[in-house]
Amino acid sequence: MKFNNFSWMGKTLSHVLLFFILLSLPFAVSALSSDRDQPINLEADTADIDDLKGISIYTGNVILTQGSMVIKSSKLTLYNDKNNELEKAIAVGTEKKLATFKQRPEGKDKDFRARARTMIYFLDKDKIHLLKNAYVWQAGDTFSGDKIIYDTKNETVVASSIKNKSGQPVSNGNRVRVTIQPKSNNK
């Protein structure tokens, strides 16, 4: 019996399995329910606040905390909506010191952590865009790439690398990388 005609089945099965493995990753930034009710505390070397435009810019060793969430960066720009509610935060790091994000997910005993050159946190859309040297991890599982979009509400991750005109990754260092730890047997 020949199975050569079914070689596509093995490739398809591999892609389907990889898809379901990625969907099952335990990345859950469904933050502690009390975090959004906590005050936002900021530390920085300088602050430039424009209430009329709804923009606040903090520079130099910036640390933002709200409940279990901590964002550290070189520069942090906050955008408020018409009701003076925070709708977007852009944290920018440097080549040597990337911006970082840490938060304790609801019902988890390990923090969700991320770092990137630029992080854009869309609070109203529950999404975090990590750009340039992006890296996320929780409980030993990791994702890295040039761009990672994390949907905190739906608990999905989309990672990509920079591609050249022909659609190929620019270099091996920019490829998406995933590490999934084995589930421990608690018997």
In a domain, 108, yes or no: yes
Which residues lie closer than 8 Å to 46 by C-beta, 6 or more apart?
A: 58, 59, 60
* Residue span of the structural domain in which 119 resides: 27-179
Specify the pLDDT at position 170: 57
Calculate mean pLDDT across residues 107-121. Answer: 89
pLDDT in tens, 54-94: 999 999 999 999 888 899 999 999 999 999 888 999 999 99
In a domain, 116, yes or no: yes
Q: CATH no. for residue 168?
A: 2.60.450.10
Q: Is the pLDDT of residue 20 over 50?
A: no
Helix (H) or strand (E) holding 79: strand 69-80
In a domain, 14, yes or no: no
Residue 159 CA to residue 161 CA, distance in Å, equals: 7
In a domain, 102, yes or no: yes
Percent of the chain exceeding pLDDT 90 equals 37
Mean pLDDT of the chain: 77
Specify the pLDDT at position 119: 96
132 backbone φψ class: left, alpha, beta (φ>0; ψ -120 to 50) = left
Which residues lie closer than 8 Å to 121 by C-beta, 6 or more apart?
A: 71, 88, 89, 90, 91, 101, 127, 128, 129
In a domain, 98, yes or no: yes
Q: Is 67 helix (H, G, I), strand (E, B) or coil?
A: coil
In a domain, 184, yes or no: no
Specify the pLDDT at position 107: 77
Choose the most confident range, by mean pLDDT, from 13-17, 122-126, 155-159, 177-181: 122-126
In a domain, 64, yes or no: yes
Model-level pTM?
Answer: 0.72
pLDDT in tens, 139-187: 788 888 899 998 877 767 788 877 666 666 555 556 777 787 787 644 4
Q: How confident is the model at residue 29 (pLDDT cuts 50, 70, 90)?
A: very low
Q: Give how many domains the chain has, as a whole number.
A: 1
Q: Is 173 helix (H, G, I), strand (E, B) or coil?
A: helix
In a domain, 77, yes or no: yes
